[in-house]
Amino acid sequence: MFNRIIQCVALVLAVAGLSPAARGQELFRASWTIQDKSRGLQQDIAREIIQRFNDWQTRDDPNPTTVRLDDFLRVTVVGELLPSNAVRNHLSRLVLGTLVIEKHFDEFLDTATISSLERRDHYWCDEAVVVYDPVHSPVATTGEEGEIDSSLAPYLRSYTGRRMPRARLALDESSIRLGTEARVWAGIGFEEIALPDFTYGSARLGVGYGGLRLWGTLPAPIGTKSNPLLARGLEGSYGFGVGFDEDHFGGMISGAFTPKEISSAPGTDRYFIGRMALIYGIIPIRLAILNDVPLRAKLGLGYLDARKLPLAPDGAGVVAADEASGLLAPMGHLEYARIAEDGTTESSATAGFFSDNLYGSYQGRFSTALGWRVTAAAYGLLGNRPAYLPSFAITPSITYTFW
């Protein structure tokens, strides 16, 4: 009996001695902050982690200790040297508000989220690194490379840290979020080429992921040139497009098919947009006169190809489509956004120009869910106004957002 006890103790000690080797030699321990509202750093991945933790905490206990969605969040990752000489990073600690979590991560986070944290696929600041083996460690002692410039913190909060709503209903763009960054969306208007709301003549329906957007267009024949509240001079058309909007640059390209028929009086010309393209750089701006409210400017070039569709003498249908104008012109687009502490958008505004056409918009809210939006545009201010554009347009609308 005594010998059996000795054998069991020896086996336990052997397993304990092998465990560190199986885990690997610890090379470094790195930590960084991914949410700190006092520095203007908030982002979807942090709020999603906190929400999942709160859901996990309340699974059995209706009154547990939970964390606010905008609370502080810090990540610690440990790098280990495996027997194969490969380096493996694994999540070691999460600090959520005043709570410290050091285990059971896989019970409230999926594999993709844990992997994203280990790869540091997000904005972060205040890195601290402790290196135990400088020879094998792939990282060095704490440096400044990943620190967020404090002057950019409000900008990051407004344009990269804002929450994407679960759903939004609005004239310019309605959307439903699918996961963290994917969404389906639909709307009318194309503001960056000075054709907001009904002036564009077409509706867009598409999908998006992060800054990438794909869409198809279809006719939206609502309004006339003589009605400024429903101003429209372009015919709608079927087509497609792709656009992207990253940290420092963006652009888009789209094309449309020639409409087959137009219902209008003989001899009256109608126009549709055949091709469009934009390319621009994105510049963060801070102005002391605006209390350091963060702005984002897009400056670049745009191309717009409007095509004329003359009708047959009897009005039976289109004779041919010929090019009315191929306009290559400078464009500028200025954005402002004020974000609440919970990450929701309190207000936003845009102003811009394409060629000699000006446009602008402002969005406010009555509550977290219910809001309002007004867009306006004026055309041909410095030259001849194209025949397919109204003199000016103004459109008020209501928005509803589900956070």
Q: Tens digits of per-residue pLDDT, 314-370?
A: 544 444 444 456 788 899 999 888 777 566 788 889 999 998 899 999 999 999 889
Q: Tens digits of per-residue pLDDT, 103-144?
A: 889 999 998 889 888 888 788 888 888 887 776 666 555 444
Mark which of 79, 113, 148 sits at the end of a domain. 148
The per-residue pLDDT for 362 is: 94
**Residue with the two structure tokens 């006092």:** 38
Claim to verify: residue 78 and residue 189 sit in the same structural domain? no
Claim to verify: residue 124 and residue 163 sit in the same structural domain? no
Claim to verify: residue 31 and residue 62 sit in the same structural domain? yes
Mark which of 118, 148, 178 sits at the end of a domain. 148
Claim to verify: residue 132 and residue 166 sit in the same structural domain? no
What distance in Å separates the CA atoms of residue 361 and residue 346, rounded to the nearest whole number?
A: 14
Share of the chain above pLDDT 70, in %: 77
Residues in the chain, total: 403
**Which region, left, alpha or beta, applies to residue 278 given φ > 0 means left and ψ of -120 to 50 means alpha?**
beta
**Tokens found for residue 25:** 């030699």
The per-residue pLDDT for 385 is: 81
Q: Tens digits of per-residue pLDDT, 14-43?
A: 444 434 444 567 788 888 888 888 777 888
Claim to verify: residue 143 and residue 172 sit in the same structural domain? no
The boundaries of the domain holding residue 267 are: 157-402
Contact 124, 146 (CB under 8 A): yes
**Tokens found for residue 167:** 């759903």
Claim to verify: residue 84 and residue 191 sit in the same structural domain? no
Claim to verify: residue 143 and residue 161 sit in the same structural domain? no
Mark which of 148, 180, 197 sits at the end of a domain. 148
Contact 201, 272 (CB under 8 A): yes
The per-residue pLDDT for 179 is: 76
Q: Report how many domains make up the chain.
A: 2
Claim to verify: residue 207 and residue 243 sit in the same structural domain? yes
What distance in Å separates the CA atoms of residue 19 and residue 49, rounded to the nearest whole number?
A: 30
- The pTM assigned to this predicted structure is 0.60
Number of Cβ within 10 Å of residue 97's Cβ equals 16
**Who has greater pLDDT, 123 or 260?**
123
Claim to verify: residue 100 and residue 23 sit in the same structural domain? yes
What distance in Å separates the CA atoms of residue 315 and residue 331, rounded to the nearest whole number?
A: 37
Claim to verify: residue 276 and residue 333 sit in the same structural domain? yes
Among 350, 357, 356, residue whose Cα is nearest residue 392? 357
Claim to verify: residue 143 and residue 206 sit in the same structural domain? no
Claim to verify: residue 109 and residue 213 sit in the same structural domain? no
